């Protein structure tokens, strides 16, 4: 019953915002300035029946997923090294803060100079994911219950069991939080990189072309695709992580 109420509430709020959008579009009077929801949906339907649209969506997802995975793996490994070694932590901490403080556009422009256009979104996504994962996993390891670790050492618990039964449960909530946040950031930064470097068969190239030719309804349609995919990918990943957590508890 609660799920139905939540769904109805979400639909009601969405309809209110769509109504506001429709009113603003009517006030603007020109679709080139602000297309209506119906115009945007119409353009989205036209895009969805083309092969190039699905190629672009799939290619963008793969590129950004590669960057996300590399950023996550590097973040976890370096976080583990940093948590157990002060020298490693002191060496990596300035780099992490520099990456966090530098505007995404700066990295994209530099990456365009260094890399092929098709690799720029992956590189940018990786850079955005790395500091978030690094900081959260470091915190999770350092917040591990010291009493449990001392008890495990006293009873001679093997390292692999200590990792699975003590460190992993401590780090998991931090990692899940980092992964969900990082996924959204990776997706947005990856699409921004595609818009700037304009690789073939990508969502970013579709957005760029729509802007160049002043096809605002199509631009809104592509933007809607970005938003919907961002929500879907975050929910899928969160569900997979939670499912893995349940599996680990039963194993």
Residue 21 lies in a domain: no
Residue 68 lies in a domain: yes
pLDDT at 245: 56
- Count CB neighbours of 184 within 10 A: 14
pLDDT at 248 over 70: no
Residue 16 lies in a domain: no
Q: What is the pLDDT of residues 13-37, one digit of tens each?
A: 989 998 999 999 898 888 888 898 9
pTM: 0.85
- Count CB neighbours of 194 within 10 A: 28
pLDDT at 222: 93
pLDDT at 10: 85
The values of phi and psi at residue 69, to 5°, are -65, -45
Return the CATH number at 110. 1.10.3720.10
Residue 175 buriedness (CB in 10 A; 0-12 / 13-18 / 19+): buried
Residue 145 lies in a domain: yes
Tokens of 84: 């157990």
pLDDT at 62: 94
pLDDT at 247 over 70: no
Residue 238 lies in a domain: yes
pLDDT at 68 over 90: yes
pLDDT at 69 over 90: yes
Residue 1 lies in a domain: no
pLDDT: which is higher, 156 or 121: 121
Mean pLDDT of 182-186: 90
Residue 172 lies in a domain: yes
| Strand, coil or helix: 59 | helix
Q: What is the pLDDT of residues 76-110, one digit of tens each?
A: 999 999 988 889 888 999 999 998 888 888 888 88
pLDDT at 115: 86
Q: Are 64 and 187 in contact (CB under 8 A)?
A: yes
Residue 201 lies in a domain: yes
Domain that holds residue 87: 38-250
Q: Please provide the DSSP assignment of 229-251 as one string.
A: HHHHHHHHHHHHHHHHHHHHHH-
Number of domains in the chain: 1
**How far, CA to CA in Å, does 190 sit from each of 55, 143, 187, 203?**
16, 32, 5, 10
């Amino acid at each position: 019953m609660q799920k139905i109420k939540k769904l109805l509430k979400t639909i009601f709020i969405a309809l209110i915002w769509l109504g506001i959008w429709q009113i603003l579009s009517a006030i603007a009077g020109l679709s080139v300035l602000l297309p209506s929801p119906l115009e945007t949906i119409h353009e989205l339907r036209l895009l969805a029946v083309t092969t190039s649209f699905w190629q672009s969506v799939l290619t963008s997802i793969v590129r950004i997923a590669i960057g996300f995975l590399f950023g996550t793996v590097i973040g976890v490994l370096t976080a583990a090294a940093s948590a157990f070694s002060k020298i490693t932590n002191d060496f990596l901490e300035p780099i992490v803060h520099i990456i966090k403080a530098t505007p995404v556009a700066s990295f994209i422009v530099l990456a365009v100079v260094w890399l092929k256009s098709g690799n720029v979104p992956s590189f940018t996504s990786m850079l955005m994911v790395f500091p978030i994962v690094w900081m959260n996993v470091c915190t999770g390891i350092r917040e591990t219950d010291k009493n449990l670790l001392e008890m495990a050492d006293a009873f001679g618990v093997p390292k692999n069991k200590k990792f699975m039964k003590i460190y992993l449960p401590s780090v998991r909530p931090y990692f899940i939080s980092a992964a969900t946040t990082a996924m959204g950031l990776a997706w947005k930064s990856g699409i921004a990189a595609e818009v700037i470097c304009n690789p073939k068969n990508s969502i970013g190239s579709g957005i760029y072309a729509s802007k160049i030719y002043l096809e605002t309804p199509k631009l809104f349609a592509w933007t809607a695709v970005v938003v919907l995919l961002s929500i879907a990918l975050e929910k899928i990943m969160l569900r997979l992580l939670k499912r893995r957590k349940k599996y680990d508890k039963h194993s």
